[in-house]
Structure 1
Amino acid sequence: MVQSTLLYAQSGGVTAVINATASAVISEARRRKVKVLAARNGILGALREELIDTSRESISAIRALAHTPGGAFGSCRVKLKSLEADRDRYARLLEVFKAHNVRWFLYNGGNDSADTAWKVSQLAQAFDYPLTCVGVPKTIDNDLAVTDTCPGFGSAAKYTAVSVRECALDVAAMAQTSTKVFVYEAMGRHAGWLAAAAGLAGAAADEAPHIILFPERAYDQAAFLAQVDKVVKQVGYCVVVASEGIRNADGTFVADAGGAADAFGHAQLGGVAASLAGTVKASLGYKVHWALPDYLQRSARHIASKTDWAQAQAVGKAAVQYALKGMNAVMPVIVRSADAPYRWKIAPAPLSKVANHEKTMPASFIRKDGFGITANARKYLAPLIKGEAPLPYGADGLPRYVTLKNVAVKKKLPAWED
């Protein structure tokens, strides 16, 4: 009898803890005697029949995944269209699933990935193929609907808060004769969760960050410059945190990178910190420095949040359990049951309620002047960055991360040409 297979794939931008989810998926499946294949580079690997045999990896290697950043099997930014518009791709997926007796499909990603998992579940039903699809949450943007938070966000939030606090100490030391304004750019296209997390760096009125710019509020250049000038004159320096997705009143991105778009159809952003720094320098004459941490925000495993690390593993374990129970088209989400002390649990949510829905910052989380976070935001954010998730270091002083062998299974179908 041919053994049934679970196919796992990673999608979209990776995080500091997505491999912790992968480790939990593989470990739980092994415990239940289920074979796990991993698609190389997300859904592309499934289409190309580039499937990795995770049984060729040692127990120690799979355990080491839990503290290794990046995407161990490769990821991609590919969004499948409707069943009608992308019929050839869906037909190919079904051929690959049949060829390798895939009965469970776990897709680990954000909004677009949840949509793909949902569509694949519809495909299986339409062709009466026995497949259970489970979406697995991941994104540093924290914009997935239904779930209280999303694995990947807590660690990126911790990195952001720590970095802003440390940079603020640097600026404060130099402000008398040098830099007066520092601008830090945080990821966040439509939702300002990461920018908000920077607010945890300081609590008192004069503590950095002094200004936070959110995508949820229209950018007003005159009001921004007036606030910068006010803070510098009052405190001696000003630390600004700006989300990459801040928009002008007409809806255009302040940092639209030349109109380019990524594979998901999203405008390519970047450079808002440089833009704001130039504006401050030209308008107010202050010496300005700026930083674009970019990938550092999502790859910084060395400063991962223990809460985030635990939640990343919990959703992976639950995803396998849901799949083996035949719970089709669901996603394990995080449910907060208490703030102090912080309590959470995992529960299933329909993919239809997650896919293509975006969770932005509630109005109650943003100060009335639009330049900072409220007490409600602090209450929500603070538990998510708590605790450390230690990792092993080598004699060279660097973390000991793992690189898997990623041995591919033999292909059974003709090559795929998209």
Structure 2
Amino acid sequence: MSEHVAVVDLGYGDAGKGTVVDALCAASDVRAVLRFNGGAQAAHNVVTEDGRQHTFAQFGSGTLRGVPTHLTRFVVVDPLALASEAAVLGNPFELLTVDGDALLATPWHRAANQRRELARGGGRHGSCGMGVGETMAYALSHPQAPRVSDTLSRTGLRRRLAAVESDLGPAGVPLDDVVDAFLAFGRTVSIVGAEFTGRLLGEGPCVFEGAQGVLLDEWRGWHPHTTWSTTTYDNVASLCGDFKRIGVVRTYTTRHGAGPFVTEDPALDLPEGHNATGEWQGAFRVGHFDAVAHRYAVEVAGGVDALAVTHLDSPGRCPAMRICNSYLLDGEPWNRIVPGPARDLEYQEALTARLNRARPGPLIRPDDWAGAIESLLSAPVEIESYGPGAADKKLLNSIC
């Protein structure tokens, strides 16, 4: 790999970003994997050739191959969840660097997040229950919200954590226990300054690993069923001037929990090994490939240079799978979801209402799924995935 690459999901998440990142790390000499959004709610499943398996949250998906991870300032860092993940991986802290300006997720953010979602009752927005969105929201109204660099000073850290506890309410955990745990995090990980990212990018090709998907983007997703995170390439662009944009899609579209899903079809026989109904996320939903929504994702993400298509083994096992290239809305065809003005949540909420009324148009069954998706999304397929491991991937053209 001779250039930096950014891997972004063009759906609602769960398209296989982790396995794509792992394949790139297996095929090339990658300097580091940089996480550029989200936090501990990520679940990127990787299976190596020797049978090792891990579902990555905060560590990058190249970790099992010894590729370092850098958590940029855009990541919401959860020290408690990170410690648990590190223990499963054998505590590879030598492979981890963290930007000191990244926000800290605390038990109080998590508890407040869960209380808020429960209070919505049947009108849940959808949440992972990890407090990532609550952390982002709190920081918008509290300039002194705790950050990773605060874990280097007991006095400052305790003051900021006490403020979070006071503002957000109880979490069933003693303040000083959290302070001690976060100080241990600060002693263990390598906390770096803003200049580190640029230096890292200058040392060799890097892979930017996104979390969630463009259709859940905080500004471009179907409001209010979205994440408090920028899931497009925008954060990458602010960190790196020149990089290749890879968009990841499955041969069928999926989403977790509440929100519009025009092509949903519960009758599809597509058993899922790593996704299930969750207490906070809700049901794992499957449907036909939604070319309309994925084209919208490409457009609002600023375009893609290449596609990675995963689950190409699925059409052979599920003859009922189809592709949807248009919707029907009030009896009229709807072929393109028109992006609205930047950061216009009223427009996005109106889109949500329209999508809730839309139904799939004619469904097609292509002979060549990768070729059909390439044509429908107007971008070349450069990674084909037929299974969970790097050996199940075909890396085409000049991707590596």
Q: Same fold (TM over 0.5)?
A: no
TM-score where L is the length of structure 1 = 0.29
Structure 1 or 2, whichever has the larger Rg, is: 1
TM-score (norm 2): 0.30
